[in-house]
Amino acid sequence: MLKMSGMLGRALIGATIFGALAASSVAYAQDNTWQDVRKAGVLRCGIATSPPYTMKDPKTGTYSGVFPDLCRQFGEQVLKVKVEYVDTTWDNIVAGLQSEKWDMSLSLNDTPERRKAISFSEPVVDYSVTFTYNKNNPKVPKQIHAIADIDKPGTTVTVMSGTAQDKAISSVLKQATIMRLPGFDETRLALMSKRADLLADDNMTNLLLVRAHPDWAEVFKPNPLLAQQGIAFGIRKETPAADVAVLNQFIEKQKQSGTVNSLVDASVKETVASTK
């Protein structure tokens, strides 16, 4: 009986420890939910600039673009809280979300590598990587049919460091020089000043550049599409499925109502106007 009692006691202790661990896991899984955001009274949105998806007016400090506007609508209309934008860089936008410096990351490419660290909403817009170049640049072929036509020694391709574009071209460019720069403006200046021969960026952003400078800008769109994926909101891995569903339902409603298309159109016009 003593031996049985000891075994029973150990079992009860084990069950108690297991139950505590399970309760701890449940509590952890429920951290950082929309309920927590409501209690805090503010939705913090991590943002790095990439027009037309995310933009910041240098004079006023105000944010605009597809994702800042959607984030504002989600915070104010769905969660009923204030919205705060937190400046970051593309190199830190995932790590900052993981370390709880903000609640959502804006305008993130949904990639398998990033999914190891964070989760995503459903896509807001589609994405692929294209290359813009100066059609008068003798270092760039008049007709570009494939990546191999630009992947040559002596050719320089600029890209925003730490972005999905950076990772995409790093896997396909073996001979060309990759010039990694910290932001949107720096990469465009590198192309326009001819320090770089091509600019790798997402399809929408490069289309805007061509529209703004039709006299010299051309775009090469690889076939098959390079790094085709969706651009979405980044959220922490422990976000409960029910909360992810709330965000996805909001996004789907905005897409079906035409709000997303309207935001894209407005952001495109704003970006083109600012680059002329």
CA dist 238 → 192, 226, 243 (Å) = 43, 30, 10
**Same domain flag for 86 and 138:** no
**Same domain flag for 48 and 94:** yes
Q: What is the pLDDT of residue 265?
A: 86
Q: Is 2 left (phi over 0), alpha (psi -120 to 50) or beta?
A: alpha
Q: What is the pLDDT of residue 150?
A: 97
Query: Mean pLDDT across the stretch 67-72?
Result: 97
**Same domain flag for 175 and 114:** no
Rounded distance between C-alpha atoms, residue 17 and residue 20, angstroms: 5
The whole domain housing 102 covers 34-125+229-275
* pLDDT tens track for 166-199: 999 999 999 999 999 998 889 999 999 999 999 9
**Same domain flag for 121 and 162:** no
Residue 126 has pLDDT above 50, yes or no: yes
Q: What is the CATH number of the domain that holds 222?
A: 3.40.190.10
Query: Mean pLDDT across the stretch 257-268?
Result: 90
**Same domain flag for 117 and 154:** no
**Same domain flag for 217 and 245:** no
Query: Mean pLDDT across the stretch 201-230?
Result: 92
Answer positive or negative: Cα dihedral of 177, 178, 182, 184.
positive
What percent of the chain stands above pLDDT 90? 72
Bridge partners, 43 (sequence order): 83
Query: Mean pLDDT across the stretch 11-26?
Result: 40
**Same domain flag for 183 and 239:** no
Q: What is the pLDDT of residue 83?
A: 98
Average model confidence (pLDDT) across the chain: 88
Q: What is the pLDDT of residue 31?
A: 54
Strands 55-56 and 63-64: antiparallel
What percent of the chain stands above pLDDT 70? 88
Residue 7 has pLDDT above 70, yes or no: no
Residue 30: which pLDDT band, with cuts at 50, 70 and 90? very low
Here the contacts of 90-97 (C-beta below 8 Å, separation 24 or greater) are 90/48, 90/50, 90/160, 90/161, 90/162, 90/163, 90/166, 91/161, 91/162, 92/162, 93/46, 93/48, 93/162, 93/234, 94/118, 94/234, 96/46, 97/46, 97/234, 97/235, 97/236
Question: Which two three-digit tokens encode residue 35?
Answer: 């309920």
Find out whether 245 and 182 touch, Cβ atoms under 8 Å: no
**Same domain flag for 208 and 133:** yes
